[in-house]
Amino acid sequence: MTGQRTLEDYLQRYAETGPLALAVAGAIDAVASAAVEIADLTGKGQLAGILGVATGRNSDGDLQRHLDIRADAIIRRCLGRIPIAALASEEAREAEICDPQGRICVAIDPLDGSSNIDINMTVGTIFSILPTPDDLAGCFRQPGTAQVAAGFVTYGPQTSLVLSVGEGVDVFTLDRAAACFRLVRVGLQISTHAEEFAINASNRRHWDAPVRTFVDECLAGVDGPANRDLNMRWIGSLVAETFRILTRGGVFLYPSDARPGYGDGRLRLVYEAHPIGFIIEQAGGLASTGYQRILDLSAQSLHQRVPLMMGASHDVRRIEELHCDPLLIASTTAPLFARRGFFRL
Ligand code: F6P
Ligand code: MN
């Protein structure tokens, strides 16, 4: 029974396991306090002066909305109360060196999916916590496997914090009356076979052959190599898609494509793909570029993009097979091997 256990209690127990855990617990607590404020703002919407319209662009050229900037400022203020060595945010061109003696470095996407603000859909905050390396300049160039903890908060009908400190994935939901998070689900596991897939299908003509083949297999359902029917969803909010996959399974793809500027997809490695990949793996799923495990990658630059395909292990393996073995594409698309083809009467 997860009962009414609070995040505070959970973090206190975890912090007792050592000095690094103590620092990590402090950062999670700070992100959680920021999340309470951001949840309040997103909940009030226009009543709090929150407008969905873009007011500028961030350092990487993405449209920046009013709430992106406010969420960034709230998290900076909350994290500013604890000793962290460096902070990286989607909203700032460079990482900020804070307290070089700090044991951890934190990377954040303050408001993921912010194009959904004005349509009243779920948005979120993503965070990745890394140990401070000997050479502080390389703190955000560590591979995703170096993460000590990662998670995200969804601001939707419920505000929930999805967290992993490297021992599985637990979920806490905000008790608004008490302004604290309470443990609601422990040790989430993603089923091996997806029954839903998520991709922005408007980009189909720009995809490469492995992605197109995988999606064709999903669409063929029980009549194709997948041998089962799959439903489709696309929210346009990475946190919401991840929450759905953790809740009822599925697979998500944001691949590279042929549009200018999308050669490495859209999502950012350091504060999107790494922390989400960490959570997905901790829940028994896989996260891949199609060719490589996401967590094995190290960023060359702070805002580097990366193709991300993640979720149900069987399906991510199939995506990798299609990327790594071009002959498979030829065989699965050949009419002779189609379910109603010559060999499958
Ligand atoms: O952070 C980028 C993001 O908003 C993700 O939350 C989401 O998965 C993706 O972009 C949606 O991209 P598109 O609008 O290209 O479908
Ligand atoms: Mn984002």
- Residue 267 Cα to ligand 2 midpoint, Å, equals 7
Confidence (pLDDT) at 332: 66
Tell whether the model's pLDDT for residue 271 goes beyond 70: yes
Confidence (pLDDT) at 118: 86
Residue 154 domain-assigned (yes or no): yes
Closest ligand 1 atom number to CA of residue 200: 16
Q: Are 106 and 143 part of one and the same domain?
A: yes
Question: Residue 158 in contact with residue 173, Cβ under 8 Å?
Answer: yes
**39-78 pLDDT per residue, tens:** 999 999 888 887 766 677 777 777 777 888 999 999 999 9
Domain end call among 185, 215, 230: 185
**165-216 pLDDT per residue, tens:** 999 999 999 999 999 999 999 999 999 999 999 999 999 999 999 999 999 9
Pocket test for ligand 1, best of 234, 238, 256 (most atoms within 8 A of CB): 238
Q: Are 15 and 162 part of one and the same domain?
A: yes
Neighbours of 286 (CB within 10 A): 24
Query: For residues 121 and 48, what is the distance between their CA atoms, to the nearest angstrom?
Result: 17
Closest ligand 1 atom number to CA of residue 252: 8
Q: Write down the mean pLDDT value for the chain.
A: 93
Q: Are 161 and 204 part of one and the same domain?
A: no
Q: Are 85 and 41 part of one and the same domain?
A: yes
Query: For residues 66 and 74, what is the distance between their CA atoms, to the nearest angstrom?
Result: 13
Q: Are 181 and 235 part of one and the same domain?
A: no
**67-89 pLDDT per residue, tens:** 889 999 999 999 999 999 999 99
Domain end call among 185, 211, 232: 185
Query: For residues 241 and 238, what is the distance between their CA atoms, to the nearest angstrom?
Result: 5
**118-127 pLDDT per residue, tens:** 899 999 999 9
Which residue's alpha carbon is nearest to atom 11 within ligand 1? 236
